[in-house]
Structures are given as C-alpha cells and as structure tokens.
Amino acid sequence: MLSGVSWITIVKMSENATSQLLARIVGKCPICKLPPRRHAWSQLASTICGDPSFQESLANFFQLFRTHEWMRLRAYQGFDPMRDAVVVYAVRCPDGGALVLAVRSNFDLYAPDELYGCEIIDAKASDALCTQLENWEDI
C-alpha cells in the first residue's frame, strides 16, 4: 500500500537515487575533472536485458551506443520492473560537452548497478543531443 505517499514523492525518490547512482559511477567528470555536482542528467533510452530473447535487440542497442546514434537509440524505451535493464543517461557538463553512460540496472535491488560504457561527446554533439531530451535533473 502506498497510503500517505504521493506518486510525486516516489518519482522524486527515484530521481534522487539516480542522481546518487550517477555521482558514484562518474566519480570525477572526465571533461572538467571535477565531481559531477552542477551537472544535470536525463534518461536517453532503456532496454530490457538478461534474457536470450532480447539478445539481438541488445546487440543493436549497444551498436547504436558505440556509434553515437543517439536519436535512433532514443527509440528504445523498453522497461519491465521485473527484469534487468540497460539504461542510457546523458550527463551534461557545465564546461560544455556531455557524457553518455550505459548502466545495467538490476531488478534485484541488492545487486550493484554496473557501468557498461561511457562515451564522451563534444559541445556541439552535446548541444544537438541535449535539446532533444527533457526532464533534466541536477545530480
């Protein structure tokens, strides 16, 4: 039962958890060499993993990630609360440029989230990507 707890509170809690997760995973931003305070994040894409039937889709997902085809990657918004997922986040650096992180998010809350990849994009690519994304949250 969720009595007494509004959905807004739950969304805020999960956003805070994501901010903390990204701060921990990034450690120091490779662009500005500082801990990622004053950086903002937005979720770019997600896809379910950990099941053979998603293997081909997952391979395409990582191909798009590695080749920086962010708008095609954005078409992936798969999520199932009962399954593991790979979530891609954009983290905007105030110095210009951004990091794009692929993080394995485990359905089992006690299994640690794992960084699968980190791509660094320059200010021009970052501006093109960031204007397409909504719901930016501060880390």
Q: Which residues bind Zn ion (CB under 5 A)?
A: 29, 31-32, 93
Can you tell me the distance from the alpha carbon of 93 to that of 45, in angstroms, rounded to the nearest whole number?
A: 19
* Local structure of 98: helix, strand or coil: strand
* Nearer of residues 51 and 95 to Zn ion, judged by Cβ: 95
* Nearer of residues 35 and 117 to Zn ion, judged by Cβ: 35
- Quote the least distance from Cβ 72 to Zn ion, whole Å: 26
- Quote the least distance from Cβ 36 to Zn ion, whole Å: 6
Amino acid 83 reads R
* Nearer of residues 31 and 45 to Zn ion, judged by Cβ: 31
- Quote the least distance from Cβ 70 to Zn ion, whole Å: 19
Can you tell me the distance from the alpha carbon of 111 to that of 39, in angstroms, rounded to the nearest whole number?
A: 26
* Local structure of 57: helix, strand or coil: helix
